[in-house]
Chains A and B, each alone.
Chain A
């Protein structure tokens, strides 16, 4: 993958229980890291234009917790996530857990939570951010991409790369 399409996040499914999000930014990595870990700045981008971030709490230390809550513009739904930092290498890498606060009844944090690894890599003043989402199961991975989805789909992305061409 080249940096030609820097405006679009690239999502791939490396294994049955992972999601990999990749995006390049026209900024050095210490600034991307700063925007990623500073509450006032997270509030400005995390909900995109789909809502307003009402809570962004970050205790940036190993064992420290984070919590983001947004209220959607459409419908006024409250959407919350929280987790714990497991590994922090400033300007390089953050490993943290992530738990959706609206998990269906009976789904434990272990079953529904993910471990996310954010990596910041700078080349010539531009930064590639990758977020590897490690889900506990394929079912959870699929549910993250489509909460209404039952088990069924496996990694079809390689195939879809080819198929996408036929859709043009």
Chain B
């Protein structure tokens, strides 16, 4: 499955180490920006910059609660990446299903040979 090379898609969003760290942190649940600043040991403007990229591609959602802005992971936006690897996996799975059939035949043949000895 070919995908268009754009700067604003989930693939590019997760290509950056810090952004993956943010997603890892959010995988554990919703967090405020200050939490992320503390967890990543980055300056707040940098964290905000990464969060903006992640929001633009829909990988994270944000909501306001009082004075806090809370970020959470949106797993569905990461589905294309999941599918990207799954497609490759599927082709090997299909190949191995055929190999199963070959092996079954080899096993029977070997069992038959033993019986004839």
A36 to B, closest residue via Cβ: B99
User: Please, could you name 29 A-B residue pairs with CB atoms under 8 Å apart, sorted by A?
Assistant: A7-B93, A7-B97, A8-B89, A9-B89, A10-B89, A13-B85, A23-B92, A25-B103, A26-B100, A31-B106, A31-B110, A35-B102, A45-B99, A48-B95, A49-B94, A144-B88, A145-B88, A146-B1, A149-B3, A152-B11, A153-B14, A153-B15, A153-B84, A160-B85, A163-B73, A163-B75, A163-B78, A163-B82, A164-B82
Binding site for A on B (CB under 8 A): 1-3, 5, 11-12, 14-15, 17, 20, 23-24, 27, 73, 75-76, 78-79, 81-82, 84-85, 87-89, 91-104, 106-107, 110
Prevailing SS type, chain B contact patch:
helix
Q: Is the CB of B97 within 8 A of A48?
A: yes
A32 to B, closest residue via Cβ: B103
- Give the chain B neighbours of A7 by CB distance below 8 A: 93, 97
Q: Is the CB of A147 within 8 A of B2?
A: yes
Q: Is the CB of B14 within 8 A of A23?
A: no
**Interface size of A as a range:** 35 or more
Binding site for B on A (CB under 8 A): 7-11, 13, 19, 21, 23, 25-27, 31-32, 34-35, 41, 44-50, 144-154, 156-160, 162-164, 166-167
Minimum C-beta distance from B49 to chain A (A) = 18
Contact of A145 among B27, B73, B84 (CB under 8 A): B84
Q: Is the CB of B15 within 8 A of A26?
A: no
Please, how many angstroms separate the alpha-carbon atoms of A128 and B88 in the complex? 19
